[in-house]
Structure 1
Amino acid sequence: MKQILLVSAVYFAFAGAALAADAVVTEPTSDLAPAGFVWAGGYVGLHVGYGRGNGNAVDLDDSFFDESIGQTHDVDTEGFVGGVQAGHNWQTGSFVYGLEADIGYLGLDGVNEILDEPDNYGSAKLGLYGDLTARLGFAADRLLIYVKGGVAATRYDVTFGDINDINGTLDGNSSESRSGGRVGYTIGGGVELALSEKWTTKLEYQYFDFGTVGLTDIQGDKAEVDIDAHTIKVGLNYRF
Structure 2
Amino acid sequence: MKTLTLAAAILAGLAAPSLAGGPTVVDADPVPAVAPAPVAAHDWSGAYVGLSYGWADAQNTYNTTGTFEFDEGSSTGIYAGYLMQSGNLVYGGELAFGKIRDVIDPSYPFSQYDRVVDLKARLGFAANRVLFYGVLGYSDAPFDDSGVGYDTKGLVTGLGADFAVSQRVTMGLEYLHRDLSGDNGLGTSLDSSLDTVSLRVGLSF
TM-score, normalising length: structure 1: 0.63
Contact 2:157 2:177 in 1 (8 A): yes
Cα separation, 1, equivalents of 2:149 and 2:184: 11
Q: How does 1:1-240 map to 2 (within 5 A)?
A: 34-59=39-64, 72-113=66-107, 124-159=111-146, 178-213=148-183, 216=186, 223-240=188-205
Cα separation, 1, equivalents of 2:67 and 2:135: 32
Q: Deviations over 1:54-97 (max 9, x none)?
A: 122232xxxxxxxxxxx624232421101111111100110000
Q: Deviations over 1:90-146 (max 9, x none)?
A: 001100001111012122432344xxxxxxx68631112211111000000100000
Q: CA deviation at 1:37?
A: 1.1
The 1:123/1:223 distance shift into structure 2, 3 A limit, reads farther
The 1:108/1:147 distance shift into structure 2, 3 A limit, reads farther
Cα separation, 2, equivalents of 1:223 and 1:155: 15
More strand by share: 1
Contact 2:77 2:96 in 1 (8 A): yes
Q: CA deviation at 1:151?
A: 1.1
> Which gives a bigger RCO, structure 1 or 2 (Cα 8 Å, sep 6+)?
1
Percent identity between the two aligned chains: 29
The 1:91/1:55 distance shift into structure 2, 3 A limit, reads same
1:25 is matched with which residue?
A: none
The 1:87/1:56 distance shift into structure 2, 3 A limit, reads same
Q: Deviations over 1:148-171 (max 9, x none)?
A: 111111231125xxxxxxxxxxxx
224-233 vs 121-130, greater mean Cα deviation: 121-130
Amino acid at match of 1:234: L
Q: Secondary structure at the match of 1:43?
A: strand
The 1:181/1:237 distance shift into structure 2, 3 A limit, reads same
Contact 2:71 2:106 in 1 (8 A): no
Cα separation, 2, equivalents of 1:75 and 1:158: 14
Cα separation, 2, equivalents of 1:180 and 1:212: 6
Contact 1:73 1:122 in 2 (8 A): no
Cα separation, 1, equivalents of 2:139 and 2:70: 20
TM-score, normalising length: structure 2: 0.73
Larger radius of gyration: 2
Give unmatched runs, 5+ long, in structure 1.
1-33, 60-70, 114-120, 160-176, 217-221
Amino acid at match of 2:99: Y
